[in-house]
Amino acid sequence: MMKHLLATLVLAGSLIALPALALDLQQARASGMVGEKLDGYIAALNPSADVSALVADVNAKRKAEYARISSKNGQPVEVVAKLAAQEIVNGLPKGASYQGPDGSWKTK
């Protein structure tokens, strides 16, 4: 069941990483505007109207997807989100920001 959950998370991560906004997640990551948090959501590192809209959109989509996966696999949403966070951070491109275990921001 854990392999199925991880495979679902990877697929979900690839789907939620493509919001249809003026600024996309990959651009925001590459420019250091957003970072991946330990809880499976993103944070604005350099806030602006576009970045805030992107963060809200991506986080809302992730929350919905985590809830769907949680319901399907009988895992708490927080567990699903934290597992997703690990998978997302592992797949980040070089130069992307993420929150380390101590809560500090790091660059891959």
Four-point Cα dihedral 67, 25, 52, 48, nearest 10: 170
Q: How far apart are CA 20 and CA 84, in angstroms?
A: 21
Is the confidence at residue 5, as pLDDT, over 70? no
Q: What is the pLDDT of residues 95-105, one digit of tens each?
A: 999 999 999 99
- The tally of domains found in the chain comes to 1
| Cβ-count burial 33-63 (b if 16+ within 10 Å, e if not) | bbbbbbbbbbbbbeeeeebeebbebbbebbe
Q: Given pLDDT bands bounded at 50, 70 and 90, which one contains residue 23?
A: confident
Q: What is the pLDDT of residues 44-70, one digit of tens each?
A: 999 999 999 999 999 999 999 999 999
* Residue 15 belongs to domain spanning: 2-107
- CB atoms near residue 29 (< 10 Å): 22
